[in-house]
A and B are shown apart, each in its own frame.
Chain A
Amino acid sequence: MESNTYWTSLKEHMPQEDPKNRDEFSEELPLLEDIGQQGELSSGRRDFLKMLGFSVTAATLAASCETPVRKAIPYVIKPEDVTPGVATWYATTFLNGSDWCPIMVKTREGRPIKIEGNRFSSITQGGVDTKALASVLGLYHNKRLRSPMVRRGEEAQLSPITWADADSAIGGKLIANPNLRIAILTQTVMSPSTKAAVARFAERYPNTVHVAYDPVSEHHMLEANAADFGRRALPEYHLDKCKVLVSFGADYLGAWGSPIQNQKGWAAARKPSPAQPEMSRTFQFESWMSRSGANADYRIPLQPSQVAVALMQLHDLIASRTGAASVSSSSLEDAQAGERLKMAAENLLENRGSSAVLCGIADRDAQIICNNINRMLGNYGKTIRWERNCLIKQGNDEQLASLMADMKAGRVDMLFMHGCNPVYDVPGFADALAGVETSVSTAISADETARLSSFVLPEHHVLESWGDAEPYTGVYSLIQPTIRPLFDTRQFPQSLLNWAGVEMKWYDFMAEYWKNNILAAELSAERAWTHALQHGVYEPNSHSGWRNPAGEDAAYTPTISVAEAASRFRQKGLASGGDVQVVLFENALIGNGAYTDNPWLQESLDSITKVCWDNYAMVNPAWAREQGLGDGDHIKLSSNAGSITVPVLLQPGQVRGCLSIAVGYGRTATGHEVTNNGVNAYALMDASRSNVFGASWAREAGNTAFARNQIYDSLFDDSKTKRPHVKETTLEEYRKDPMAGNRDRLPLLGHLNSFYPDRYANKNGFHWGMAVDLNTCMGCNACHVSCQSENNIPVVGKKEMARKHDMHWMRIDRYYAGSEDNPEVVFQPMMCQHCDQAPCENVCPVAATNHSAEGLNQMAYNRCIGTRYCANNCPYKVRRFNWFDYMGADSFGTFNDRDPLMQNGEKGMLSELTRMVLNPDVTVRSRGVMEKCSFCVQRIQESKLYAKMEGRQMVDGDVKTACQTACPTGAITFGNMFDNNSEVYKLSENNERAFRVIEEFHTLPSVTYLTKVRNKKLADHIHEVPFEGTLDQA
């Protein structure tokens, strides 16, 4: 959709464009009546006016902010062309520490309301992740600081202060003593201009050190690369070129490395077709059920220490065949795992140069061994390349440690903490902070760090900011404001410049830096700058796409011998001590803790555990039963660094004797009680900041009831009969027969004719349909967060989620097959199937849900009286009922509003500020009304209007649903089923893998799924094995 919008609009709204079209446009607007026919317009307009009214007030408020908005060039329109009801798209970048993603921001009447990926980035190629998608909600967070704050004397509370006073207070100190020992602590800084600003500041104040750290660090990998390649960076992994992928605890589809790029590459290598029945084979040696593990062809659960052994053994297996020196490894305890390892080695050797070994072990020596394996396999320069260094993780744990030592010793006079929350995610930092005289935090809200700082100089939200990023050498992306700053905030680099006595606005400084450095080679820097702003990205070396990047390759020049590394690694051992081994990991869904205050992410159910609003220690179910532990039972975990009390969760696939906990929870200062949830697992990390360690555990009183909306079950739970709503096969079978796993559809197809007249016999106009490829869906939840943001889906809070009152229009179903200890996992996005013979439509007494001429199953919210009969009769259970007044939209006033973030009378999700995120094109549903996926009907209407405006036929790809645009692996395709050339038609009609869920009920769904193909030996594939383990209710 978005591409269509801005390209066409570009044509439409260029000055020289003739006024006729503009008139036509204003004439065509009444077409919105079409929307009205679905009963959405009236309430939509009411809501829209409310929004409009508020955004005006917000604008006036913002107008008081003296920072003038510079020439922000929206992708399309000159500001005076902003037409109410017409979206304006800005290309910018989501950036926070090492979370980076080029995005397109949809603004309506000056309000950012929706985020999508930027297709022009060669790295993410339009992909986007949940954190970026949900950041638009963060912009309207109630607890954002409205102005700078200061702590006077010893008082605990921060009090407001003006920027002038803040500057004079801090600047005063600086000027008074230019030799002040200053430290600037940040997360990874990808922004070259910010680095330049820091440099300018350091020029002025020579005793300045800049320390960068990452809450979830790749320090050891960086060090290993520095030792082997002389570059403290990550290489670029081309997973699309990998026929075999072996990972040792590296969650490359989750939070490891450059996730979106990994996902894109992984998906590209997993699209077999009858013409090319080829796909990559992935091995995952890991301790917890990670996203990569869930999607791996072979997943080998091992204790962390054993993962290390496996790595070394693989090294020797390869070495023995390549004539390299062995590191004399011990062999694995688990014989079957050993077999798998041999198989992996074989496969790797068969595919030298087209394979990759990834290592997620936080240990330099392990990384060195891994590097050597890849070298032996000749993967460098082919699947793993150094032309473009990946800079998204730059944190240095050693520097952090020494900084903390200095702070403790009082050797730091002034500390700036920018874009980080060390008091929360660095154990012991609070004590160190006490030793600093003047501490300045730039937190956007009063987080744990801000609360202990002497000054808080709140940053703009990224959507209000100017900035840039260099995630890969030679790959740049720009950040431009999409709205005037809502509050009296200021960007940190601006402050640095002010204090450094540089009389420049941050924007000018940045623009100048670009022209003098990044754009220096361009003929016209001005044009290049404009072009870059419009596209949001600037990739001088790879205009022709990223697969043939220019740049310097790096030679393998090890400064530490593998043997040395191996022996040291063996002695050290991994996760020694304690009676269990613990792995801390970053849940890619919600991040390392910076986004815990985001209700959309909190409520998004983890696609594997199906739990939301919580973190927990995942344990092996059998082990837990032996210990008498059940879901939610509390245990006390003690490492040598600290101890926490955490509820356990019985997780199939979790290895025995190992517990895994997601970091990022247990915040204490998110501003809302409900988002201060879970436990802070960072507390277990010792100074080495290793995420793997030994710990001892003890049963504690208490139990946590998880908000979990899928009970603990598998596909095959009943009577060994496989329910055919998810279909699988193996590559072997697929090669023989493209319809493998889907044969049971053939007899069905014969019976799919009805004695009713076929309403779609003459294939005129549209019949909207969707195709979902189960092979490339990896359960990242991006679609479902995107849907939440597009369709004004309420957040209901943990209590309601626990009662299974979830409102998501689209859910990611997860099914297990096989044994509890190592099940196969399959994800299935499930949304309204828009059946042509929909059971729900027949039973609605008031005709509130019925079928559109374009095959949409439509809901007239205003007509619905809430009998819930349609939901009962929906075989897919995708209809959602407004049990309470989640949106503050019913006719009963506010006394019965259900605001999950409401605390001491203060509204959260329902506050006027937060409601600015609502999409004016989508009705806000009131209590007692049924709702469900609408195939983004508002987007269909919009693109119809544009097509009409341009006097052309709709073409395939004009309409893109919110879930489709968000999917980083392109698993979702949407389009017109009547157009035989459309993607969706090809996928769902002429495709041996195509099937529809419970087709035998003859509901004729418009959503098609493609059989999942696993690249594993037939013998290893789990077919109809019943699931051991009991179902637990509630």
Chain B
Amino acid sequence: MGHAFVSPIREPLITGRKTYKQITDDICGPVEGPPTKSWLAAISFTAVVALIGFATIGYSILYGIGTYGLDRTIGWGWDITNFVWWVGIGHAGTLISAILLLFRQKWRTGVNRSAEAMTIFAVMCAGMFPLIHMGRIWLMFFVFPYPNSRGPLWVNFNSPLLWDVFAISTYFTVSLLFWYAGLIPDLATVRDRVTGKWQKMLYSIFSFGWRGSAKEWQRFESLSLILAGLAAPLVLSVHTIVSFDFATSVIPGWHTTIFPPYFVAGAIFSGFAMVLTLMLVARKLLKLEDYITIAHIESMNKVIVLTGSIVGVAYITELFMAWYSGSPYEGYAFRNRVSGPYWWAYWAMMTCNVVSPQFFWVKALRRNVIFTFILSIFINIGMWFERFVIIVISLHRDMLPSAWSYYVPTWVEVTIFIGTLGFFMTCFLLFVKVAPVVAVAEVKSILKTSGDQYITETPEQVEAGIKGLAQSSGHYESLIKPQYDDE
């Protein structure tokens, strides 16, 4: 597609005068060098947290779900809350890469790599919960429709939980493929730079023998485009299906038709927040300010204020419908949300998700790194509460008052959740150490169109540049023979 020169009013997505060489050095540098002390310290801490988490999971499996704070009325608590929260976070990565790629949003290139990595790790954390919350996890293979001697007894294709199984596993697989397909050329780059024997061996294994030939690149681009085309609806479908877990049920507060869009918006919302949380740290530590620029942060904040407002509207709509439906159960469910024993959870959600993002209407705040970071944390918390509100508050007081109850998590549930945070961070730290955090090849491909040094260049200047170059080799005419253009 020839040269899409960006208009001067667009600010650069890559700052500082960079050559391709510099880009490679900047991004691959951290990967090649030995691990820093701070990195070692960080990863050993998160690894320990993760291990404690896994030990607790083992405990809950040995002794039973009774170790959770759940009861005969409230069958899901922190477990599924965490599941939905993690899945939501897992939405940013693929969304950024896929949808923004389809929309030809160049700014994605700075962040998509790490966002996708984050997606994969988040989905791994998410996937854990539906498994460990089972009463008999050792029989979890029952959820797969495999031929067996019980009839064969297949699975219940009407069950949203089964849809989840397919949605989550598909989402994970596709995200992984998408991510790794993009990673291969960059790993090859590292492979061709590193000197250490082991490094060389490892990187040549994982770079799958990429050469970067014209044909490879042609196929690469075609693949990325179609994967993006597939992943885009997939992203939307995953949280839609997760929302079906609730929307298709009969429990007041769950049985709500607006859940699919509302959940997807929420997912993007929380996903972007988490991306920001991580990127703002990463760009500082890895000195990638030139590649993850204020422009990136601002664009993401714009998405946040949009999705945040969508979520806010959804909350209000729910309340309205509860009143408008005239159903005593629906009505009570939401009155109970706002003013019941769990009022604090509801208002924590409201403040963090609806009020706080509105600050981003202010440009200065949008572009303020510290403020963005703090707010992103707020949103992460708020979105966790949203899931808690939907799951627990709806369950704890449903149709028959005789069954009403109150839920408090046990140390087991809390530890498991913290453990997944540790696991997530561990994976992410490993990733930033072993793989280029920014998609090297893609960044290079936009260097000229969105790079600082090219921003003022007109085609003539480019020509001039080439001319000079050619004259040095003394064959100017041959370079600008018109008949060579567009074959």
Least CB distance, A825 to chain B, in whole angstroms: 13
Kindly count the residue-residue contacts between A and B in the assembled complex, taking CB atoms under 8 Å apart.
Answer: 189
Decide if A869 is an interface residue (CB 8 Å cutoff). yes
Q: Which of A17-25, A386-394, A624-632, A719-727 contacts B (4 or more CB under 8 A)?
A: A719-727
- A14 at interface by CB-CB < 8 Å: no
Evaluate whether A713 and B401 lie within 8 angstroms (CB atoms) in the complex, with A719-B332, A866-B134, A881-B135 already known: yes
Q: How far is the CA of A785 from the CA of B331 in the complex (A)?
A: 36
Instruction: Specify which of A815, A872, A929, A1034 is in contact with B401 (CB 8 Å cutoff).
Output: A815
- Report the nearest B residue to A870, measured CB to CB: B75
Q: A865-B143, A875-B398 are in contact. Are A843 and B135 (CB under 8 A)?
A: no
Instruction: Kindly state the separation between the CA atoms of A928 and B136 in the bound complex, as whole angstroms.
Output: 5
B404 at the A interface (CB under 8 A)? yes
* In the complex with contacts A813-B400, A830-B402, A863-B142, A869-B66 CB distance below 8 A: no
The answer to whether A806 and B72 have CB atoms under 8 Å apart is yes
B204 at interface by CB-CB < 8 Å:
no
B271 within 8 A of A: no
| A815 and B135 contacting across the interface, CB-CB below 8 Å | no
Q: How far is the CA of A1001 from the CA of B328 in the complex (A)?
A: 12
Closest A residue to B135 by beta carbon equals: A866
Contact B399 A885 (CB under 8 A): no
- In Å, the complex CA distance between A898 and B67 comes to 12
Task: Please tell me if A876 contacts chain B, counting CB pairs below 8 Å.
Answer: yes
Q: Would you give the 0/1 interface string for B341-373, flagging 1 where the beta carbon is closer than 8 Å to chain A?
A: 100000000000000000000000000000000
Which residues of B are found within 8 Å of A867, using beta-carbon distances? 130, 133-135, 161
CB within 8 A of A723: which of B71, B155, B328? Answer: B328
B66 touches A873 (CB 8 A): no
The answer to whether B139 touches A804 (Cβ under 8 A) is no
Determine, out of B104-112, B219-227, B248-256, B273-281, the stretch whose residues face the partner at the interface.
B248-256
B62 within 8 A of A: yes
Q: Do residues B402 and A710 form an inter-chain contact, with CB atoms below 8 A?
A: yes
Partner of B403, one of A721, A873, A877, A881: A877
B315 at the interface (CB under 8 A from A): no
Q: Are A928 and B134 in contact (CB under 8 A)?
A: yes
Residue from B140, B165, B249, B402 within 8 A of A873 (CB atoms): B249
Q: Mark B160-182, 1 if CB is under 8 A from A, else 0.
A: 11100100000000000000000
Query: In the complex, which residues of chain A have a beta carbon less than 8 angstroms from the beta carbon of B483?
Result: none
Within the complex, which residue of A842, A873, A875 is in contact with B400, where a contact is CB–CB below 8 Å? A875
The one of B62, B135, B155 in contact with A892, judged by C-beta atoms closer than 8 angstroms, is B62
Q: Is A883 a contact of B65 with CB atoms below 8 Å? A: yes
Chain A interface size range? 35 or more
Say yes or no: B399 contacts A875, CB within 8 Å. yes
Contact A998 to B159, CB < 8 A, known contacts A845-B143, A863-B153, A885-B64: no
B-side contacts of A303, CB under 8 Å: none
Nearest neighbor of A39 in chain B, beta-carbon distance: B150
A715 close to B (CB within 8 Å): yes
User: Which residues of chain B (227-249) have a CB below 8 Å from chain A?
Assistant: 245, 248-249
A1033 and B341: CB pair below 8 A? yes
Contacts of B133 in A (CB 8 A): 867-868
* B400 and A725 contacting across the interface, CB-CB below 8 Å: yes
Q: In the bound complex, do residue B134 and residue A865 qualify as a contact, i.e. CB atoms below 8 Å apart?
A: yes
Interface residues of A in 986-1010 (CB under 8 A from B): 997-998, 1001, 1003
List chain A residues, Cβ under 8 A from B165.
Answer: 845
Contacts of B47-82 to chain A: CB distance below 8 A: 62-66, 69-73, 75-76
By beta carbon, the residue of chain B nearest A1034 is B406
Q: Which residues of B contact A929 (CB under 8 A)?
A: 135-136
Taking a contact as CB atoms under 8 Å apart, the answer to whether B75 and A868 are in contact is: yes
Interface of A is mostly: loop
Determine the distance from Cα of A877 to Cα of B250 in the docked complex, in whole angstroms. 12
Q: A884-B66, A927-B64 are in contact. Are A868 and B402 (CB under 8 A)?
A: no
A803 at the interface (CB under 8 A from B): yes
Q: Would A881 and B156 count as touching, CB distance under 8 A? A: no
**Contact between A717 and B401, CB atoms less than 8 A apart:** yes
Does B38 count as interface, using CB distance less than 8 angstroms? no
A406 CB to closest chain B CB (Å) equals 53
Residue of A nearest to B136 (CB): A928
Interface pair A896/B63, CB less than 8 Å apart: yes
Q: Please name all residues of chain A whose beta carbon is closer than 8 Å to the beta carbon of B72 when the two chains form the complex.
A: 709, 804-806, 871, 877, 879-881
Q: Within the assembled complex, what's the spacing in Å between the Cα atoms of A1034 and B405?
A: 7
Contact flags (1/0) for A892-926 with B, using CB distance below 8 Å? 10011010000000000000000000000000001
- Choose from B69, B336, B395 the contact partner of A872 (Cβ within 8 Å): B395
A928 and B64 form a contact (CB under 8 A): yes
Question: CA–CA, A578 to B401, complex, Å?
Answer: 39
New A-B contacts (14) at CB < 8 Å, excluding given A719-B331, A723-B401, A877-B73 = A721-B331, A805-B71, A844-B161, A871-B72, A880-B72, A885-B64, A891-B138, A896-B64, A898-B66, A926-B136, A929-B135, A998-B329, A998-B399, A1033-B406
Residues of B within 8 A of A (CB): 62-66, 69-73, 75-76, 130, 133-140, 142-143, 150, 153-156, 158-162, 165, 245, 248-251, 328-329, 331-332, 335-336, 341, 395, 398-406, 408
- Sort A-B residue pairs by CB-CB distance and give the 9 closest, nearest first: A866-B135, A928-B135, A883-B66, A868-B75, A877-B403, A804-B71, A813-B402, A1033-B406, A928-B136
17 contacts between A and B (CB under 8 A): A715-B401, A719-B335, A721-B331, A723-B329, A805-B66, A811-B402, A813-B402, A814-B402, A815-B401, A843-B158, A865-B136, A869-B161, A872-B251, A927-B136, A928-B65, A928-B136, A1001-B399
